[in-house]
Structure 1
Amino acid sequence: MGYTEVEVAGPAPAAGALLAERPVPPRKLSGRPLFEGPNPAAAYAAYRAWAEADPDAYWSEIAGELEWLAPWTRVRTGDLPDFKYFVGGLTNVSLNCIDRHLSERRNQAAIIWEGEPGDRRVWTFQMLHDETCRLAHALRQAGIGKGDVVAIYLPNLPETFAAIHACYRIGALYNVIFSGFSPDAIRSRLEDSRARLVITADGSYRRGRLLPLKATLDRALEGLDFVERVTS
Structure 2
Amino acid sequence: MSGHSKFANIKHKKEKNDAAKGKIFTKIGRELAVAVKEGGGPDPTSNSRLRDVIAKAKSNNMPNDTIERNIKKAAGEGSGDNYEHITYEGYGPNGTAIIVRTLTDNKNRTASNVRNAFTKGSGNVGTPGCVSFMFDEKGQIIVDKEECDMDADELMMLALDSGAEDFVDNDDSYEILTTPEDFSDVRLKLEEAGIAMVNAEVTMIPQTYVELTEEEDLKNIQKTLDLLEEDDDVQDVYHNWDE
TM-score by length of 1: 0.22
Identify, as 1 or 2, the structure richer in helix.
Answer: 2
- Which structure has the greater CA radius of gyration? 1
- The TM-score, its normalising length taken from structure 2, stands at 0.21
